[in-house]
Amino acid sequence: MSTILAQVIVGGLLLGAIYALFSSGLTLVWGMMNIVNFAHGDFVMLGMYVAYVVWSLFGAGPLLGAPLAALLLATVGIVVYFGLIREIMKGPMLAQILGTFGLALLLRYSAFWWFGANFLTLPENIVGGTFDILGLRIQASRLLAGVVALLVTLGLHLLLTRTSLGSKMLAVAEDSTAAQLMGIRPDTMQAIAWAIAAGATGIAGALIATFFYIVPTVGETLAIVAFVTVSLGGFGSVPGALMAGLLIGVIESLSAYLIGAVYKDIVVYSLFLGFLWFRPQGLMGKS
Amino acid sequence: MRRFVWASVALALVLAYPLVFSSPFQQRLGALVLLYAIAASAWNIVGGYAGQVSVGHVVFFGCGAYSAMAAYAHFGLSPLVGIPVGIVISVAISAVVGVPTLRLSGHYFSMATIAVAELARLIVTNTDYLGAGVGLSGPTVPRNIFDLSFISALPYYYLFLAVLAITLGITWWMASNRMGFYLRAIRDSERAARSLGAPASRTKLYAFMLSAGLTSVAGALYAMMFGFIDPESGLGILISVKILIMAALGGAGLLFGPLVGAAILVPLEEISNNLLGGKGAGLTFVVYGAIIVLIARFQPGGILTLIKRLWARPRKTPTAIAVPGASHAP
């Protein structure tokens, strides 16, 4: 295998790890409450702007930016849950989709209004420079982002499968009335799920910001990426999101390399529509 | 009888509007209200009546707009020729998206529509035949009346009014027929409707295809009025947003809901753009987002439902209003 191809694939995997991270938040919320957050990509966008503000105020990199973004976005998640989601969940489908879609617009254009439509970037050397591993040249920022995203996603999976909090959340997802009879508060668990999901997007956003342009409308593209990832990995499955995220990262990088950067999104979106046709339950889901 | 009187008064007002408010700005505003009302009424068929929330309806709008402009730019034909082409392409796209997703829960449908709209925008932006990023233009000087290129907004006003009347007529006809009953049953409980033998997926698909075809007509009319189309004005997500919010604000699933929504929001946007200039564009959509959230949170039925409820309140006992649709033993 040529070095360039290997480099493209590694780059794709590192990007895919971040896709996996923010998509696992979407899949968690979908799996638990059967609601799709159309503002999910815009949560990531907020995380990116938090990283930008942290850098412009304190000159600090993702070491401060990522935890702060996670904390802020988790708060946003809780506020959104109690202020909006809890109510629209009882409403008709129209209200559910309009609610989060409207939220997406609100966040996107507030950012547009506040920060302007210009493309912002963090300084290229905010996380080290570029170095060689096994003959591959890899940017430190991408490596850090990919590895951290992978670890956080795995941590999230362990949280959901190995802890009592995870079991409680699973119980609410299975049958919230039964869970309530066992002394679990569905409201609290669902709020925690929103905090985790939004917090994950915060980390992902702060990490992407180190090597990606920051613009208010970036959330739309990222939301579609998350939809593709989640539908590919099977709704509600964090390991599925991880596999799918990595796969999409690689497909995106390969198509950018082989047929041109402008076509990479076309390939990914077509893949999504193709999957809805032939395997709506995802790669790992049961039919 | 009283209903008939009200309808006649409303019709007379709509017909007289551009003659009473005859400045170019007012006439243009009126035409735009009607244009968006056509698109929002078309959305209403699938979003309101069938309860399937399309957030990428601009793809059909764009099909119509691009077909009309391509008919002129590539073949020197009247943009009118593009209308049937746009309808055919739109209906085909709606089938491709609708067949797999309308069997699944409504979220899949919404996600697929947003993805297909973005896909279309990206493809058109990279296709030279469709003008790529620059777009396509219509006739600069009208060759004959079939170019539908007028300087005054007055002819557009009456043209759009006629198309809106047809759109609403089709919607009304659909809603009061077998299909309308199926759709209402499906929207209330799809499982129950299916168990009683209503062909749920097929009915939703027909509604989606009808809606797509009508939206494409709105797109073609838009392109004719502005004489120009590019990826942002023909396929940008904000057009989807406008269509959706007008229908939802006025009242999704109600015949005149989209018209009411358009009559409120189009002037609001024009005025805020005039007052705030370029800075207003971002702010307008902040307000739109807030309106959508508030509708979803407090009044999913839209303004018309709210008015109906307030109107009905003094005449009925409070219990009858608290449980609408509940059957009381005589």
- Locate the domains of chain A by residue range: 3-278
**Per-residue DSSP letters for A244-256?**
HHHHHHHHHHHHH
User: pLDDT tens across B299-325, in order?
Assistant: 888 889 888 888 887 655 544 444 444
Residue B268 lies in a domain: yes
Mean predicted confidence (pLDDT) in A57-63: 86
Could A93 and B53 be called an inter-chain contact, meaning their C-beta atoms sit closer than 8 Å?
yes
Residue B322 lies in a domain: no
Q: Report CB contact under 8 Å: A102, B291.
A: yes
Examine residue B330 and state whether it is found in any structural domain, yes or no.
no
Class of domain A3-278: mainly alpha
**Mean pLDDT of the B181-185 span:** 89
Residues 271 through 300 of chain B touching chain A, CB cutoff 8 Å: 279, 282-283, 285-286, 288-297, 300
The DSSP output letter for A214 is B
Q: Does B220 touch chain A (CB under 8 A)?
A: no
Q: What pLDDT does B321 receive? A: 46
Any chain A CB within 8 A of the CB of B95?
no
Residue B169 contacts A where some CB pair is shorter than 8 Å: no
CA distance A231 to chain B (A): 9
Predicted pLDDT at B327: 42
CB A231 within 8 A of CB A280: yes
Contacts of A91 in chain B (CB under 8 A): 296, 300
Task: Give the residue from chain A lying closest to B302, CA to CA.
Answer: A95
pLDDT in tens, B222-237: 999 998 999 989 999 8
> Taking 60 as the threshold, does the pLDDT of residue B213 lie above it?
yes
Q: Which pLDDT tens digit goes with each residue over B83-96?
A: 999 999 999 999 99
Residue B329 falls within a domain, yes or no?
no
Domain assignment present for residue B245? The answer is yes
Predicted confidence at residue A1, as pLDDT, reads: 59
Instruction: Single out the residue of A270, A98, A94, A103 nearest to residue A198, CA to CA.
Output: A103
Residue that has been written with the tokens 């709105």 in this structure: B218
Does residue A51 or residue B138 have the better pLDDT? A51
Q: What is the mean pLDDT of residues B112-129?
A: 92
Chain A residues with CB inside 8 Å of B98's CB? none
| pLDDT, mean over chain A | 89
Q: Across residues A136-153, what is the average pLDDT?
A: 89
Number of domains in chain B: 1
Top-confidence residue, A171 or A75 = A75
* Average pLDDT of span A18-47: 92
A205 and A41 Cβ atoms separated by less than 8 Å:
no
The pLDDT score that the predictor gives to residue A173 is: 86
CA distances from A197 to A71, A93, B258 (A): 11, 21, 35
Query: What is the predicted pLDDT for the residue at A157?
Result: 92
A77 CB contacts (<8 Å, ≥6 apart)? Answer: A43, A194, A195, A196, A197, A198, A199
Inter-chain CB proximity A266 and B122 less than 8 Å: yes
Lowest mean pLDDT among A156-165, A230-239, B127-136, B139-148: B139-148
Residue B323 counted as domain residue: no
C-alpha distances (whole Å) from B263 to each of A8, A261, B72, B260 are: 52, 42, 31, 5
Q: In chain B, at which residue ranges do the beta strands (DSSP E only) sit?
A: 136-137, 228-229
pTM of the model: 0.88
Q: Which residues of A touch B106 (CB under 8 A)?
A: 93, 97
pLDDT, residue B1, reads: 67
Give mean pLDDT, residues B134-162.
85
Could you report the per-residue pLDDT of B247-298, keeping only the tens digit for each? 999 999 999 999 999 999 999 888 877 787 766 667 888 888 998 899 889 8
Q: Return the residue in B188, B293, B299 with the most chain A beta carbons within 10 A, the one to mutate for interface testing.
A: B293
CATH number, domain of B216, equals: 1.10.3470
Residue B98 is assigned to a structural domain of this protein: yes
Q: From residue A284, give the alpha-carbon distance in Å to each of A229, A243, B105, B111, B197.
A: 12, 9, 19, 20, 33
* Domain membership of residue B218 as a residue range: 2-316
Return the percentage of chain B with pLDDT > 90, whole number: 49
Q: What mean pLDDT do residues A18-23 have?
A: 93
What average pLDDT does range A42-49 have in this prediction?
A: 96
